[in-house]
Structure 1
């Protein structure tokens, strides 16, 4: 998809600062129909981007291994040009995958129609061989290689490549039919504009979009309960709760770009969700440069927000979490063992303390900590903030809280996947400031949950850790968390990880 021109993107700051009504952070009760529809979409789907990405690696492996097998058959096991042949075969295989990508052969529509793309695939494979032959000719190495070997590989490689495409076509059609590989979309805004949008999307051939329903604040007189065969499931505020239950990939706003005030009102409620948000541009009179649009088939969309840490980024981050969590558990195992013994000797009760907190997309997760309070005075809901010299905290508890040793069991949370190693710190579900829940203090607070919460984070290494006893501290922590989400990268995670032990030396706000 093309990247939207920054000049036409609504920034998160513009949405947060828009001075309009909002109750998107406090979802109301959905009706029974909406709840039933949401329950049908609880299961995660396979991303088409991930499927095509894995296919690229598989096809490279198939072409490379088939070339090596042909080489071993004709020449023997590394008997002649022992490294030149494998390198050449690897280069040709990689070039073929790149050319297939450039010619859009990894798009879902192409993968579902291998026979229609037979000529294009053959041309790409032949082009890879032509470029390889040209390179050998220019470098005066063509006489060193066997033409029979490469001619055989050309036939064998293409047969295997096309056979794999036929198998993938059947698999993708089955996955699409079963709802296992699709992009789930909700239409925001009803009426005639939504009907035109839905009809346009449904006309697209080999469409992987599944429309789950429509949400609109307007009454049935202005926004009919059924549009193009899809039900209006509720209001925009109820959409927040719907998206907490269903695995939704995309929200498509079917309002004209000229309705700027209304669009901003909607975005102020919806930007807290971890989904792609698109503004339908198929009926807009305003025309931007082509690269300002992304497309569903030929239906143009303006990209307002993208889901953070998606597809291959999520794979990289999960790998990061597993590797460094295992390292953390191994390195700190003596400290954790000593802490467990000290806790048992200091006071009665279990070593670990389990607390329910908000996780990704507001899901309730259970976070592990070393117990730092007396068992009969513990506060699982964290309704009462821990303060300096708090009598509920044990002697060992004061030390492990100041040094953050009490957080070490969360390496296990990160390894199991309920937490990430780096991310916004998860707060207890009933955490309060001056008798107000955190989401009542900070507008857009739940946007922190667009990614998995972390063991440590950008806010913590910038001094915003420990007691959240003022509204300003909560606002500042949220601002740092949102900055992290909007600027995430693996290098950013590494920076936070390596700075964390240094910044933990400052124990001023930890008690």
Structure 2
């Protein structure tokens, strides 16, 4: 079966599940609480925030193709119990609201009955969908030809509802017709066949090979998992999953891959960007538009294709700070003759970047994240600098950790880009709301202080 038949719909499952759950609880609260004298807007905001916080801690949406029904049921119970307490807690703090235990009980029963039915229908539908159509599968290879590796391959074949397509064994220690190639052949095979997951039998790998494969998976956004034995893997967090009774060690995704974190960060981006657009850009755009037009011919805004999340292109918006030219893929340098007088001021104060809050609102960018590079920089450094491609795991940002640490502007040496990537990777692997707020505050401070490489 070719890649065209794989059907990449998994990324939509969680957002759809979240949207339906929120629709259920918010519509039902309007129906069952209509006579309780609630301030509907405040209550729905409170209820929605409470739902997100609870789901984050109980891992309510961390349901995978190998998750058991018992685990799903356990999370439903935890979510239901804590959410009930959150709902009840709202009433004592609202003087004019009528408390009704009966209304709350009926609301909770209906809500979780519908959510449970939907969750299990989706879970079983996806299993049947994979079996019947052969779609929505993930391709996998195994490094090693050990008894454990063979058992895992047999499990993939028996439990086709898991949705895994086995592509081959790679081993240096065994040679027979079942071996697809040596471990050295793995990287080319994975890239050529767009393999999703790499399973490593540690009995057949040296520590150096493990490190090399981990780096390769990081750079190419591939999932890597380990068939456990006595070896240790350092500097990475591991979690244990079970495919039936078969244990598999997985490298944990960063917190930015967590569904609850994505929703929270997206909500923050929307609120923050709306605040800037309505409070600042609403009056700044007309003023700058007049000045830009008076100084040079051309549009007020400049848009340019940049690589975004998963290296998908989006149009990045800026105030035009240069004269019209045909060298837009060349980054600005000191005393660049293309830069206009107003453009020099805008670039020095980063005002030219302000229209990117529109990109944030549209969902192409985040307020904080790795800055989007030029396509020419991606081509020049993508295969040259270790972990460069990790920056495409998340949405690009208007500002970022590398920028507030001084690595912004023109790339004069390879070390400039290497240091920028180090900070980008650190941000991705160590994200927190506090870190985002620190970066935003430092960005504002740097604007007023001025930066040497802001040109």
TM-score by length of 2: 0.72
Corresponding residue to 1:479 among 397, 422, 427 = 422
Aligned counterpart, 1:343: 292
Matched, 1:353 2:302: yes
Corresponding residue to 2:123 among 172, 180, 191 = 172
Distance change (3 Å), C-alpha of 1:337 and 1:269: same
Aligned counterpart, 1:447: 390
Cα-to-partner distance string for 1:355-376 (whole Å, 9 max, x where unaligned): 2222112222221122222213
Distance change (3 Å), C-alpha of 1:507 and 1:333: farther
Structure-to-structure mapping, 1:110-189, within 5 angstroms: 161-162=112-113, 165-178=116-129, 184=138, 186-189=140-143
Matched, 1:369 2:318: yes
Q: Answer yes or no: is the 8 Å Cα contact 2:239–2:252 preserved in 1.
A: no
Distance change (3 Å), C-alpha of 1:215 and 1:410: farther
Q: Answer yes or no: is the 8 Å Cα contact 1:277–1:306 preserved in 2.
A: no
Aligned counterpart, 1:496: 439
2: CA distance between counterparts of 1:486 and 1:107?
22
Q: Which residues of structure 2 form unaligned runs of 5+?
A: 39-49, 86-98
Aligned counterpart, 2:167: 214
Matched, 1:313 2:264: no
Distance change (3 Å), C-alpha of 1:222 and 1:453: farther
Q: Answer yes or no: is the 8 Å Cα contact 1:273–1:450 preserved in 2.
A: no
1: CA distance between counterparts of 2:105 and 2:342?
70
2: CA distance between counterparts of 1:111 and 1:255?
22
1: CA distance between counterparts of 2:175 and 2:65?
39
**Aligned to 1:271, what secondary structure does the other structure show?**
helix
Aligned counterpart, 1:30: none
As a proportion of its length, which structure holds more helix? 2
The Cα shift of 1:43 comes to 3.5
Q: How many residues align?
A: 414
Distance change (3 Å), C-alpha of 1:375 and 1:277: same
Q: Which residues of structure 1 form unaligned runs of 5+?
A: 1-32, 83-93, 132-144, 228-233
The Cα shift of 1:389 comes to 1.0
Corresponding residue to 1:410 among 329, 348, 356 = 356
Aligned counterpart, 1:236: 187
Structure-to-structure mapping, 1:251-400, within 5 angstroms: 251-256=197-202, 259=205, 260-274=207-221, 276-281=223-228, 284=229, 293-310=240-257, 311-330=259-278, 331-376=280-325, 378-382=326-330, 385-400=331-346
2: CA distance between counterparts of 1:268 and 1:215?
21
Query: What's the RMSD between the two structures over aligned residues?
Result: 4.9
Which one has the largest radius of gyration? 1
Distance change (3 Å), C-alpha of 1:263 and 1:415: same
Aligned counterpart, 2:89: none
Q: Answer yes or no: is the 8 Å Cα contact 1:445–1:478 preserved in 2.
A: yes
Distance change (3 Å), C-alpha of 1:494 and 1:62: same
2: CA distance between counterparts of 1:501 and 1:159?
48
Distance change (3 Å), C-alpha of 1:292 and 1:366: closer
**Aligned to 1:309, what secondary structure does the other structure show?**
helix
Q: Answer yes or no: is the 8 Å Cα contact 2:168–2:179 preserved in 1.
A: no
Matched, 1:199 2:170: no
The Cα shift of 1:404 comes to 1.1
